Chain A
Amino acid sequence: MLIELKNIVKNYDNGGVVTKVLRDVNLSVEEGEFVAIMGPSGSGKSTLMHTIGFLDRPTSGTYLFDGENTEGFSDDELARIRNNRIGFVFQSFNLLPRTSVLDNVMLPLMYNNSKANQEHRAKVALEAVGLGERLNFMSNQISGGQKQRVAIARALVCDPKVIFADEPTGNLDSKSGSTVMNILEKLNKEGRTIILVTHDKQVALHANRIVTIRDGEIVSDVLVPESERVHSKEIKDDTDL
């Protein structure tokens, strides 16, 4: 089991007013799964993703990652897990401005213990998302779809076990969105675990399992029959070479 959440509770304390964001969440994800977490805004799906992604600590409960209990891990240990076991893809891309595509992809490697072949590894990651030719473009010189692909390359570069994608198509037109989903599907086929957060059913149907969360509780957890799964094609961006 790659991810095992047991009785996870997350409360936010806003000046004495306690908001219960996650109430007793239990969730297991196996290696190689493609899980979509769905729910309306305010349902706690983002908090859930942040907790699974070690960006946030649960108030109580146990989190086993790759069989290891992560309770009591120091901030530095969590940073290390984020760096080489997890890749993040955000809705708004979050690329460094005034920085080349290559340098953006190399950024996680800078915080990585393995210093060898950084540039080569970044190029391989960029080729995997079809951007091997755009290494020296500045992050503001490329289209939104390409930005998200750079972000996926950045998530891939440390060869993580799992990729978290938080509304990865939220800021994209349907063509670019389709290309991005196609890449995620491909990565999943190659054996990488994908956890996707979305409120869009069509996007969620790319996954093989949909977890629905409402008011901080998991209300459904179903496998998607192969017949209902959506598969996106790679659609060439107008600006692609």
Chain B
Amino acid sequence: MNIYSVLFVGVGGDGIITASNVVAYACMFAGFDVKKSEIHGMSQRGGSVSASVRYGDRVYSSTDKMGSVQFMLATEKVEMLRWVRYLNNDSIVVVNDRIVPIIGQTIDESNIDGMIETVKVRRLIKRKFIDDANKLGNARLVNTVMLGLLSRFMGIDEKYFVDAIDQVLPEKLKTINQFAFSYGLKLSEEYA
């Protein structure tokens, strides 16, 4: 029984719910059974947020087992590290090179980067994706760019993601997000 998993981690307001919905639909369109979990409530008030999309022939649990996650999309570096126990040496991690401050705490960025260095996975792509999104004209496209890049490693065809974006996003955001996705997918050539 093969189950694959994409773990999304970040901070409340990062758009993780929407990004994970897009992946869930892409997996369903590609013919997989899908389960997804997300946590509402307190986490909306700026706390740590996570969502999991698990896909395979038959998926039961909506949450992951430690050491089992193949793919991680992290919108922030501290949160990536917080979930490190779910990764293994074969995982692919796409992380936005950014830190969201925590009230009353001083975070030493070089220290965080040093910790990330020690996480030996198959592939860890850390990049200021916000620059890519800004280049496309809208900072809110950052997750979709990251998704495009990650999709190359997931082996799920672009057409399923295009349909998924069509399904999940409001009308006026569809085209621009489909474009951002293609941009991200193209970006993956740099990391091939």
A binds B: no
Q: Which chain B residues have a beta carbon within 8 Å of chain A's beta carbons?
A: none
